[in-house]
Structure 1
């Protein structure tokens, strides 16, 4: 057994799938399966319960997984130290980005970081902020962007955006000529919102209920541009952050300020307080702090 075997095993445990692990590691699925089988034979235990396409850790597998993460982290730490000593900065960083955040804020930041650290591989994973927070907490991601507030006892954070949600409607909608609207005025409208793994899903529904009505949801999506196209096609209305609304076609979509109540949209980079940080993660945090100075954040 070597460090590569542990890395393959950890990836299967994190993804819950031999196929997904193979795709992430860019090796064949039979290779992953053989490595895990060899480990099981060497250790004399069953590491995974295999049900269909799912792979779930056994009790013994969970114990090995906890130890394996520490071993791989120590190995990565040693590799990073050697890379720094020889001025060859290398590493890998898993960053979770909600689609709206990735589209509106970070292409240039990511490009600048890559230019400074070409040896650090950035694996960008897009899904909702709620799922991102869960995966940072369980170790599947190193760092990610979420919607504030978050668990201050669990995460360090660097605030990066402070906006409000705005209403978008198609250009011929009855409200299109207005500049602002209260949430209660939308009680009879059809809503297009993000899926449940997005923090905005619950936030928008809760705000509507507080304003006296249960929103009638006609469609859910994970893509802000698709939501915009559905609004332009007159399927319904949507609430999106200011930065995203500025990217809508004004000939097809009207944007209104939302009042009574305003719904905040505050983003932050977060990472676990109680875990080892690789060299790549530390450099990313230091870099982001130069882009967003004078913000909360702690780097040990």
Structure 2
């Protein structure tokens, strides 16, 4: 392209800062590979043959594509664009992430965040399979498979109807709940397993009467005196104390520890790296 532009091997060599024999050898190599003569060298100036003109048109497209690719890569490296698939459980998503996501979008408007809301167990499987880049789960998780950073350390609180026999207690041991009707999260949520497991350790199998994927619906069923439930401290702060009584569980209680996880062996885009850094800075461990 430079030889055709300059109409001279010598001037092309000067423009490209390489020797004239090097350019001549490279052009000759292309001609031999394609089996055509690309440049007419017989006149005062070097001119492209018909085949040379055809090559020029294609060569320009190749150079344009390479320039575009270089620009796209620069955008990604400089965090101007990208996509992150983030899995969030309903309780964590509603309470902790709207502000973080809003600040991230303002700073990196061309990075698209796709939010997938589901239970923590399903999110963990998604991160493991690669359908999600990163997700929030209830700890503990597999440290050999995932990298993580924790950002919440809370306990579950007991929710009862205001006229319930336990409503005014300062603490309730799990074993006192053996005759109660439990309202749980559905099976793809981590608490679906954690709460019954804690009850079994306390000596009884809980009687589950309802299951739901929405914490606000669970709390409303408690307010309707349909059973008891357990929700994290953070969520309980937003409940109407006139309609629902929140009572601590006696030690050791049931922990609710959240962490953001991503696969140890997965490729990490620049956008994902920056999201992790950004979220880690803003989600103070509580």
For residues 134 and 144 of structure 1, what CA distance do their matches in structure 2 show? Answer: 10
Determine which of 281, 284, 287 is the counterpart of 2:272.
281
2:173 and 2:206 map into 1 onto residues whose CA distance is 14
Choose which of 195, 207, 210 in structure 1 pairs with 2:198.
207
Is 1:116 the equivalent of 2:136? Answer: no
Moved over 2 A (4+): 77-82, 292-295
Q: Distance in 1 between matches of 2:94 and 2:174?
A: 26
Q: Report the alpha carbon displacement of residue 105 of structure 1 after superposing the two structures with TM.
A: 1.0
Q: Where do 1:44-123 residues align within 5 Å? A: 81-84=73-76, 89-123=80-114
> Equivalent residue of 2:137, what SS?
strand
Structure 1 equivalent of residue 249 of structure 2: 258
List per-residue Cα deviations over 1:201-240 (Å, max 9, x = no partner). Answer: 1110000011111000000011000000000011100011
Structure 2's unaligned 5+ residue stretches are 1-68
Q: Is the 8 A contact 1:183 1:260 kept in 2?
A: no
* Residues 261 and 78 of structure 1, relative CA distance in 2, 3 Å threshold: farther
Distance 2:196 2:71 in 1: 47
The number of aligned residues is 218
SS of alignment partner, residue 156 of structure 1: strand
In 2, the alpha carbon distance for the partners of 1:146 and 1:109 equals: 17
Distance 1:193 1:177 in 2: 22
SS of the residue 1:164 aligns to:
strand
Tell me what 2:19 maps to. none
User: Are 1:138 and 2:129 counterparts?
Assistant: yes
Instruction: Describe the shift of the 1:267–1:251 C-alpha distance in structure 2 as closer, same or farther (beyond 3 A).
Output: same
CA distance, structure 2, for counterparts of residue 90 and residue 269 of structure 1? 22
Is 1:80–1:91's contact at 8 Å kept on the other side of the alignment?
Answer: no
Change (3 A) 1:267 1:176: same
Shift in CA distance, 248/236, structure 1 to aligned 2, threshold 3 Å: same
Equivalent residues of 1:193, 1:219 under 8 A apart: yes
1:171 partner SS? coil
- The equivalent position to 1:158 in structure 2, one of 125, 149, 163, is 149
Gaps of 5+ in 1: 1-76, 296-300
8 Å CA contact 1:80–1:278 kept in 2: the answer is no
SS of the residue corresponding to residue 162 of structure 1 reads strand
Q: In the alignment, which residue of structure 2 is the partner of 1:267? A: 258
**Superposed displacement of residue 109, structure 1:** 0.8
Match of 2:62 in 1: none
Residue number in structure 1 paired with 2:214: 223
Whole-Å separation in 2 of the counterparts to 1:193 and 1:220: 5
* TM value normalised by structure 2: 0.73
Match of 2:159 in 1: 168
Cα distance in 2, alignment partners of residues 239 and 275 from structure 1: 35
The offset of 1:83, in angstroms, is: 0.9
